[in-house]
Structure 1
Amino acid sequence: MSAKNERRRMRVEAERREEMEIATTTPRDPHDRTWGFFGVGALQAQLLRRPSRQAGVCYEIRGDLGNLRLFRSVSTRAGADLVVGYDQVAAKPAALWRLLRSLEDLRLPVRRRLEPFGALDGEVLEATVCGGVQAIARFTWKRGAAPDGWQPLAELVESSIAEFDALEIAHDEDSDA
């Protein structure tokens, strides 16, 4: 490799490391679909848990179906909507693929019936599923108060988040993770 090409490669690597550092240390809105950095992959699904008096957690399944990875971000403080960080979690790609397939197979009513009461406090759960470039579905509910017809989604999200919470952060040597 020529010296000029080597300098260019090193400059591009340094720019990518800086881009990744900024992206992973700057608080962000987890709903911002423009967020990302080189090599993180396309968003397939996102699961959020936001307790009212503790820091929340955001899990994202990213990549293509042949190379799925799980990432974890945490709220900047209790009750905050913004998240920070982006740690890869040691999840098996086959398990992530099965979760995505389970989400594909769910049939949910989109509009919920109006209820004469509401919850003022509690843990908010959210599932976002991306179906290509233009399609996205986001479901948000309070733990224990999923609307009629959403119980299968609530159970799947709650069990998945519990499983993800038990996984370790991956210590991948690859700087693109």
Structure 2
Amino acid sequence: MFKTRPSRQAAEQLYAACAAQARRPVFYTHMGVPDRIDARFELYTLHVLLVLLRLREEGQKGADTAQDLFDTYVSALDNTLRELGVGDVAVGKKMRRLGEAMYGRMSAYEKAILAGDEDTLATALGRNILEADEATPEMRAMAAYAMRTRASLADQPFENVLAAPAWAEPMQAAA
């Protein structure tokens, strides 16, 4: 009766993998991402989106897991706000703002990724991560990483993605 659905269990493992990848020090030490909560949110969103895009390619079984991954991410955001001490009354308002931000980012990133448009993705990442008006070398490196990760995930069998997605290696921005 209280058994977790297999897609939910897979989604929780995938979210943990996305979070672990987004926390890798290389993003903060070599790719120019500020070590702030809002910048971490951007990296979590990017990594979750990359996996969501891959899952959606698998038909209904992938769509179920994708929805569960999205729900897991939203729940994690809610839990993080509570852990940061946001009161119950304010959580709803902050979650609404975070949800709007997340949908906006995912929409912008998804369009650029699906179009293979690294320049547009780099500009969007720069705007959201660095609050820059244009793509910086660091965000160009981040966009290239995202595209390589998209290709890496596409090359992996669905079962391998579920078990442990293999991410592309982040590379330091050219000076």
TM-score by length of 2: 0.30
Kindly name which structure, 1 or 2, has the bigger radius of gyration based on alpha carbons: 1
- Which structure is higher in helix share? 2
The structure, 1 or 2, with the larger RCO (C-alpha pairs under 8 Å, 6+ apart) is 2
